């Protein structure tokens, strides 16, 4: 084992973007306390009422575009560069659909729940950048069919993305860190136990103990913008 981790697997959730002003889902007053996910974040909801679903995601997309990365996003981007310079790697797997990790400078971000800034055509599956409000009348730039565009995000009941790459990266990690996630949604919530089973040290950085806090070897509690840079500095990164 080197004197510092060579491959860190970092899993982020909505808490890492909370101090950038983006809502979390399950905190008091969270998104799912104000909106019904079954009416807004399922394929059935989109089929039944696409305009309402598109409006909801347009609103979230505009919020994400207006937000700025915070010190937690920046610390992860800097750590990615430092590890790469030493021949190591930071594998950043996010459940978030905003682009704050990318805008903070992270070069390799795996969005397992998709991305708000991309739209997908239900007719041909082509994914295109989504910059302006999306309406049902919009035509797919790839196949020209209109009325079939949706946000390229993973809804409840749909399979998360990039699962093979995530599993492979987890197997190579020297350290598993979860940041700003409640541990409520699988498969992401199960990664800490998979890491433990592989003998990989684990740490959660969160505002408060998550649903699977007991599965972590260590924890650093507090706002991610302060707790995460401090923890990474402790690791000599």
3-state secondary structure of 112: coil
From the list 49, 55, 58, 123, which residue makes contact with Zn ion (rule: CB under 5 A)?
Answer: 123
Shortest separation between residue 123's beta carbon and ligand APR, angstroms: 25
CA 174 to CA 215: how far, in whole Å? 17
Q: What is the secondary structure of 13-72 as a DSSP string?
A: -GGGGGGGT---SSSTT-HHHHS-HHHHSSHHHHHH-HHHHHHHHHHHHHHHHH----HH
The 10 Å Cβ neighbour count of residue 24 is 21
25 binds ligand APR (CB under 6 A): yes
26 binds ligand APR (CB under 6 A): yes
Residue 108 marked ligand-binding:
no
CA nearest to 39, candidates 160, 138, 47: 47
Nearer to ligand APR by Cβ, of 93 and 140: the residue is 93
24 binds ligand APR (CB under 6 A): yes
CA 38 to CA 5: how far, in whole Å? 41
Nearer to ligand APR by Cβ, of 169 and 228: the residue is 228
40 binds Zn ion (CB under 5 A): no
Residue 208 marked ligand-binding:
yes
Q: Considering CB distances under 5 to 8 angstroms, the limit depending on partner class, which of ligand APR, Zn ion, none binds residue 125?
A: none
From the list 5, 151, 180, 229, which residue makes contact with ligand APR (rule: CB under 6 A)?
Answer: 180
* Token pair 């946000």 in the structure block, residue: 151
Active-site positions? Answer: 113
Q: Which residues bind Zn ion (CB under 5 A)?
A: 121, 123-124, 126, 140, 142-143
């Amino acid at each position: 084992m080197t004197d510092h981790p060579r491959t860190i697997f970092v899993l982020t959730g909505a808490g890492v973007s909370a101090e950038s002003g983006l809502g979390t889902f399950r905190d008091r007053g969270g998104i799912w306390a104000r909106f019904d996910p079954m009416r807004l974040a399922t394929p059935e909801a989109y089929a039944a009422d696409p305009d309402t679903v598109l409006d909801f995601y347009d609103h979230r997309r505009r919020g994400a575009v207006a937000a700025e990365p915070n010190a937690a996003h920046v610390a992860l981007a800097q750590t990615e560069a430092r590890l790469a310079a030493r021949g190591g790697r930071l594998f950043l797997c996010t459940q978030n659909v905003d682009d704050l990790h990318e805008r903070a400078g992270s070069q390799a971000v795996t969005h397992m729940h998709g991305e708000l800034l991309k739209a997908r055509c239900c007719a041909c599956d082509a994914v295109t950048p989504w910059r302006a409000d999306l309406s049902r009348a919009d035509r797919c730039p790839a196949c020209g069919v209109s009325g079939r565009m949706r946000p390229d995000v993973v809804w409840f009941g749909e399979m998360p993305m990039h699962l093979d790459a995530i599993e492979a990266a987890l197997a190579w990690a020297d350290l598993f860190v979860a940041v700003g996630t409640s541990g409520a949604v699988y498969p992401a919530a199960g990664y800490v136990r998979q890491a433990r089973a592989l003998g990989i040290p684990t740490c959660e950085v969160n505002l408060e103990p998550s649903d699977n806090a007991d599965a972590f070897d260590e924890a650093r509690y507090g706002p991610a913008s302060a707790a995460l840079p401090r923890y990474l500095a402790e690791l000599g990164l």
